[in-house]
Amino acid sequence: MRLVIAQLNPIVGDIEGNLERAIEILARFNEKADLMVFPELFLTGYPPKDLLERHDFALSVQAALRELILISAKYNETGIVMGAPVLTGKKTGKGLYNAALLIWNGAILATQHKSLLPTYDVFDETRYFDPAPSVEVVSFKGQCLGISICEDAWNDPKLWPRPLYSFDPIEVQAKKGADLLINISASPFHLGKEQIRYDLIKRHAKNHETPFVYVNQVGGNDELVFDGNSFAVDARGNFIDFAPSFEESVRIVEMDAPGNLNIRPPKDEIETLRLALVLGIQDYVRKCGFSRAVIGLSGGIDSAVTCCLARDALGEENVLAVSMPSPYTSQESKDLSEKLVQNLGISFVEIPIT
C-alpha cells in the first residue's frame, strides 16, 4: 500500500483554514497514493482545549467533515485518515470522541475513537472526551488496517514503572488481524522525545511483526511545540522513511518496501533545541497575527541568544535591537551589543536609560 504522510502545521480553532489545507494536499497527491494520513485532531488543531465545549465549534467541525466527505468522492482512488472531534450521540459523558475517520469515495468507511485519554503532564483529555467503546480494525484495499490515536500506542511496559491503563489498543488490533498499523498523533516535543517515539513504535512493529506508520503534527501552539518526526517502519522495525523535524512535510511512502538498517534520523540535541525554540517563536508570532520583535540588548549572553533566535525565527528585517545603557554600563557591554547586531544584520538603536 502506498501512503501519503501529511505532516502539517494546523492552527488551533481555524477549522476552515485547516480543511482548506487538507483539500489542497488531497488535490495534489491523490493520484500518488492509496491512503492519505493526517495528524490527530487536524481539523481543529491541537490542543483545542475549551473550544471543544462550545456547541457552535462542534457544529463547525461536523460541517467541515461533511464537506471533506463530499470532496472525497472526486478522488475515489484515495482514502483519507482524518483526525477530528466527533459527537458521541449519548446523553451521558462528555459528549465527544477524539476520532480518526477513514473517509473514502464520499462516505465514512470506518471510525476509530481514542481509547486512552492522558491526564498527565500537558494533557487533560478526560476533561473533553469520552474513551472509545471498542477497538476495531478495518479492511481497505486488500489490507487490514489498525488505526490508533497518539496515546493508544503508549501503554508500553518499558515506558512506565506502573502501567497507566489496563490494556494495549495496539495489541488488540494486532490480535484482530491488522497487517498495517497507523497512529495519528499530536505529540509535543521535549528533549529526547523523538528517540523515545522511534523506540516505542519500532517495538510495536517487531512485537507484532507488522509495518507501522506514525504521523505527527508539527508547529507551535501557545506553550507547546510539535516536532513532527513522522516515520514508517517495516515489520522488523527498520525505517522505511521518516519526515524532517520542525517543518511541514508531505511524503509518499511505499509500505511494501523493505526497511533499511542504514536509514537513521539525524541526532544533535543542541540543534534540535534551537529548531524547537525558533519554531515556537515563529508560530507564536505568525498565529497571533503580528510579525516584528523588539529585543533589549545588554551585551550579555542571555539577550544575545534571544536576539539570535528572534532573527532566525522572524528574519533580520523584522527584529529591532535596543541598547539601554546606564552611567554604569561598561564600554565592553556597549561594544558587544553593537558587534552582535552587525553580525546578525538587524536594526539597532541606542536609548540611554537616563
Under 8 Å between Cβ of 103 and 82: yes
Contacts of 192 (CB under 8 A, 6+ apart): 269
Q: How many helices (H) and strands (E) does the chain have?
A: 7, 17
Section 120-139 average pLDDT: 96
Residues pairing with 79 in the sheet: 35
- pLDDT class of 82 with cuts at 50, 70, 90: very high
Which residues are catalytic, by number? Answer: 40, 114, 150
- The model's pLDDT over 295-341, given as tens digits with 9 standing for 90+, comes to 999 999 999 999 999 999 999 999 999 999 999 999 999 999 999 99
pLDDT of the residue at 264:
78
pLDDT of the residue at 261:
80
Q: Measured between alpha carbons, how far is residue 45 from residues 12, 21, 104, 226 in Å?
A: 4, 12, 22, 11
pLDDT of the residue at 267:
77
Residues pairing with 98 in the sheet: 85
> Can you read off the three cell numbers belonging to residue 36?
492519505
pLDDT of the residue at 283:
97
Which of these, 115, 69, 90, 80, lies nearest to 4 by C-alpha position?
80
Burial pattern 122-146, b for ≥16 Cβ within 10 A else e, equals eeebeebbbbbeebbbbebeebebb
Q: Helix axis angle, 55-72 relative to 15-29, nearest 10°?
A: 10
pLDDT of the residue at 161:
87
pLDDT of the residue at 319:
97
- Name the residue type at position 65: L
- The model's pLDDT over 178-234, given as tens digits with 9 standing for 90+, comes to 999 999 999 999 999 999 999 999 999 999 999 999 999 999 998 999 999 999 999
pLDDT of the residue at 265:
78
Which of helix, strand or coil describes residue 99? strand
Under 8 Å between Cβ of 36 and 182: no
C-alpha 304, offset from chain centre: 30
- Name the residue type at position 155: N
Under 8 Å between Cβ of 54 and 21: no
Counting Cα atoms < 13 Å in the Cβ hemisphere of 30 gives: 17
Evaluate if residue 16 carries a pLDDT over 80: yes
pTM score: 0.94
- The model's pLDDT over 141-182, given as tens digits with 9 standing for 90+, comes to 999 999 999 999 999 988 988 888 999 999 999 999 999 999
pLDDT of the residue at 260:
86
pLDDT of the residue at 174:
98
- The model's pLDDT over 244-293, given as tens digits with 9 standing for 90+, comes to 999 999 999 999 998 988 777 777 899 999 999 999 999 999 999 999 99
- Name the residue type at position 97: Y
Q: How many residues does the chain have?
A: 354
Continuous segment of H or E residues that includes residue 79: strand 79-87
